[in-house]
Structure 1
């Protein structure tokens, strides 16, 4: 590998020989000019040679952000989970490429990324709010004295009949769409930043960029979200109301373990070891582009074995009796634990729809199905379960994540810690330590 410097008109340029292409065997050269003096050209040539020897040579390229991103997202299809890949693909198509797609990749700097984030926050929303469209049609039909139909709602919103039917149920219950302005939520913009940071880090590895401009970019700060949760009394009311439901065991399981929706939908019959009161959560069922597909779990930490309480074990035993009867009746070979009578796996969105209906029938405050997971964690922590145990049962990646997520919703724990520590150091105080220690000591659902 060598280089040379030559005068080219009024300026100087260098040319380095990179050796043959390892795939085609063709000769490869790099030429760059525009230097005012021979010394400048020689210094640049020496730097380029050193970078080439280290495998860090960045060649001048007019490849655009769109061209690079298309290569990058295609290259990531094999190593990313389908749901994550679909999310990144949507971010690119909706938010990144329409704004900076024509920019040469090597011109994409930190300032331009910061301006992109500001643009997305202020006017980045490009997706049509179909829920708002359907709700406006629903109100117009009511005002005209007509009874809205699911098919008409679906046509008004440009969605499937099933989506129109679910929207009609929501509106009849008094649920209205969330109001959106023209900008994206800070969390979405930050997700876009995370994607870009990873993509541009690969651009550096591929010798397309000298450094990653996203490293010094400033995505918006995301405020901590307060979770809407049910109290232990409300959890009991839900379990009692769902007792007559065919999938009563599913609802009890989510309330006593905090399993994610994808984990519930992905459970197999073989995942249960009721003789030892254990459940292994590994395979999941997720939604990608509206379609349900099996996956291998959110992370390695999400694969775990959970102990089950006796009430949940008994409910699952009863459920399995009916599960075996239906399997024999329909003659299916399905292995999903929670499935349709003919063995077909349940779509995760269907579980969400069933949960919304049951909680509404029970007269409970409306929360998301995922908020039952938060409710379980809060109840367990208030009952005195160590945070490390709660973290492991939830399948979190670290104890600190569990603390950051849930400690702020337990205002009594700090006071409890203060009382116990002070009593240990100073001796008995006027406030009974026994009372403080037994706060919420009962099981969350008993």
Structure 2
């Protein structure tokens, strides 16, 4: 037996005497057979909240070194104030974490967390004790999760586990976060390919007579998220100033609809509307007055702009299905309903609206998110700006050449004149009497040569 800090390591067996009593450490074979029995450790734990002393005993280790290593791990954890419970599994820990998140997360966020935990993480590593979870387990989890899933989804699964383990570190349940240094797949974000202006116009003309047509008009004009459009209220609108304030969203939680706050704090903002959108909303109001009269006292008044005939909120999945059906009927290539929001951004960028303004219109939490999503559209805009600048330079050069005539260099050696050297001829420049270089309008620069 040896002493390890506040604990001890010892060997015992399961042999029994004539009465059936287990011999444990007193078995005579332990002194003569070094392979008999297994190794255990015992360590005094911090007192429980009631002040009662506790001793942790664990055994079954094949060697003394293995038992000593396990004991050292326990004493190191308790020394830095980490709670030790080697029987709590990853599944049990994540369930506790989800209960905590239920009181502070949005319903849609919690639903995403739970889907990742129950469908991916727990089936793979839920059986492991949380204290034995290592980086290699997380790496294997992400590798397995990548089969049949895109990089974005795998990164979200990794973010869920990392968030849960961060909670464990903050609450002194874990000494460190084993998922922090694991790198998820680095797949590029897929480029958004929303409808062009012509395709969008075709769709909006096709849905003009559909009950949900005005909803799609407003989503496309304002870049709203689906839930934000469904949660829009008349009290949030100022039709005279063509503005809408985003204050709530409709979410589906386990089949039940509920109102929630927008996705982020930046999402709670005022957006501008087009004249077309305002006209569409005026038509919606007239239709709702007819619905209200038809339903009478049975009408559910939530002050919603877009609602069912009885005033109840529209189901998000129904709106998506209707969008898909209408876009197919219009003969258009398939895009997501959310791509109407992307389309609003792409049209603004194509029109030359600064990316900072686009970011504010979409109510992203940072301009970096906007730039990351629409980087390829920014490149197109930058290319168009470069072409426009080149055209202006070419026009200016043509004007200067037409008005100034042909300029030639005079004979070398005359005071105040300029000499053209062979090297400068190639570079498109002149060298003066003192060696200084001046522009020669007769010789085009490489950039202008390309534009000509």
Match of 1:69 among 91, 94, 112: 94
The 3-state SS of whatever aligns with 2:174 is coil
Q: Counterpart in 1 of 2:422?
A: none
**Is the Cα contact below 8 Å between 2:214 and 2:277 reproduced in 1?**
yes
Q: Counterpart in 2 of 1:368?
A: 336
The TM-score normalised by the length of structure 1 is 0.72
Q: Are residues 328 and 413 of structure 1, via their aligned partners in 2, closer, same or farther at CA, if it must alter by over 3 Å?
A: same
Taking the aligned partners of 1:229 and 1:86, their CA distance within structure 2 comes to 27
1:315-348 Cα distance to aligned partner (Å, 9 max, x none)? 2123212222322331222321111111121111
Q: Counterpart in 2 of 1:156?
A: none
Taking the aligned partners of 1:16 and 1:248, their CA distance within structure 2 comes to 70
Larger Rg belongs to: 2
Taking the aligned partners of 2:102 and 2:172, their CA distance within structure 1 comes to 21
**Is the Cα contact below 8 Å between 1:281 and 1:302 reproduced in 2?**
yes
Q: Are residues 394 and 41 of structure 1, via their aligned partners in 2, closer, same or farther at CA, if it must alter by over 3 Å?
A: closer
Q: CA deviation at 1:31?
A: 5.9
Taking the aligned partners of 2:119 and 2:160, their CA distance within structure 1 comes to 13
Q: Are residues 317 and 27 of structure 1, via their aligned partners in 2, closer, same or farther at CA, if it must alter by over 3 Å?
A: same
Match of 1:91 among 116, 137, 154: 116
Q: Are residues 237 and 59 of structure 1, via their aligned partners in 2, closer, same or farther at CA, if it must alter by over 3 Å?
A: same
Q: Are residues 222 and 45 of structure 1, via their aligned partners in 2, closer, same or farther at CA, if it must alter by over 3 Å?
A: closer
Residue 348 of structure 1 pairs with residue 373 of structure 2? no
The 3-state SS of whatever aligns with 1:215 is coil
The 3-state SS of whatever aligns with 2:374 is helix
The 3-state SS of whatever aligns with 2:241 is coil
Q: Counterpart in 2 of 1:188?
A: 153
Q: Counterpart in 2 of 1:319?
A: 284
Residue 336 of structure 1 pairs with residue 304 of structure 2? yes
1:399-443 Cα distance to aligned partner (Å, 9 max, x none)? 111111113135431223435677999994679xxxxxxxxxxxx
Q: Counterpart in 2 of 1:251?
A: 216
1:18-57 Cα distance to aligned partner (Å, 9 max, x none)? 4561xxx232456689998xxx999999966752xxxx33
Q: Are residues 28 and 79 of structure 1, via their aligned partners in 2, closer, same or farther at CA, if it must alter by over 3 Å?
A: farther
1:366-407 Cα distance to aligned partner (Å, 9 max, x none)? 211111111111011101112112111112111111111113
Q: Are residues 241 and 101 of structure 1, via their aligned partners in 2, closer, same or farther at CA, if it must alter by over 3 Å?
A: same
Q: Counterpart in 1 of 2:365?
A: 397
Q: Which runs of 5+ in 2 are unaligned?
A: 12-38, 400-452
Higher RCO, 1 vs 2 (CA within 8 Å, ≥6 residues apart):
1
Q: Counterpart in 1 of 2:231?
A: 266
Q: Counterpart in 2 of 1:384?
A: 352
Relative to its length, the structure with more helix (as a share) is 1
The 3-state SS of whatever aligns with 1:345 is coil
**Is the Cα contact below 8 Å between 1:16 and 1:49 reproduced in 2?**
no
Taking the aligned partners of 2:5 and 2:324, their CA distance within structure 1 comes to 72
**Is the Cα contact below 8 Å between 2:74 and 2:84 reproduced in 1?**
no
Q: Counterpart in 2 of 1:358?
A: 326
The 3-state SS of whatever aligns with 1:62 is coil
Q: What is the CA RMSD across the aligned residues, in angstroms? A: 3.4
Q: CA deviation at 1:71?
A: 1.4
**Is the Cα contact below 8 Å between 2:191 and 2:374 reproduced in 1?**
no
The 3-state SS of whatever aligns with 1:244 is coil
- 1:215-234 equivalent positions in 2, closer than 5 A: 215-234=180-199
1:128-154 Cα distance to aligned partner (Å, 9 max, x none)? xxxxxxxxxxxxxxxxxxxxxxxxxxx
Q: Are residues 16 and 310 of structure 1, via their aligned partners in 2, closer, same or farther at CA, if it must alter by over 3 Å?
A: same
The 3-state SS of whatever aligns with 1:197 is helix
- 1:274-285 equivalent positions in 2, closer than 5 A: 274-285=239-250
**Is the Cα contact below 8 Å between 2:350 and 2:377 reproduced in 1?**
no
Taking the aligned partners of 1:6 and 1:368, their CA distance within structure 2 comes to 61
Match of 2:264 among 299, 310, 330: 299
- 1:173-184 equivalent positions in 2, closer than 5 A: 183-184=148-149
The 3-state SS of whatever aligns with 2:207 is helix
The 3-state SS of whatever aligns with 1:213 is coil
Taking the aligned partners of 1:231 and 1:208, their CA distance within structure 2 comes to 52
Q: CA deviation at 1:216?
A: 1.2
Q: Counterpart in 2 of 1:160?
A: none
Q: Are residues 424 and 202 of structure 1, via their aligned partners in 2, closer, same or farther at CA, if it must alter by over 3 Å?
A: farther
- 1:96-111 equivalent positions in 2, closer than 5 A: 96-111=121-136
Taking the aligned partners of 1:275 and 1:254, their CA distance within structure 2 comes to 19
Q: Which runs of 5+ in 1 are unaligned?
A: 123-182, 432-446
The 3-state SS of whatever aligns with 2:168 is helix
**Is the Cα contact below 8 Å between 1:388 and 1:399 reproduced in 2?**
yes
Residue 236 of structure 1 pairs with residue 188 of structure 2? no
Residue 197 of structure 1 pairs with residue 165 of structure 2? no
Match of 1:413 among 368, 378, 381: 381
The 3-state SS of whatever aligns with 2:338 is helix
The 3-state SS of whatever aligns with 2:306 is coil
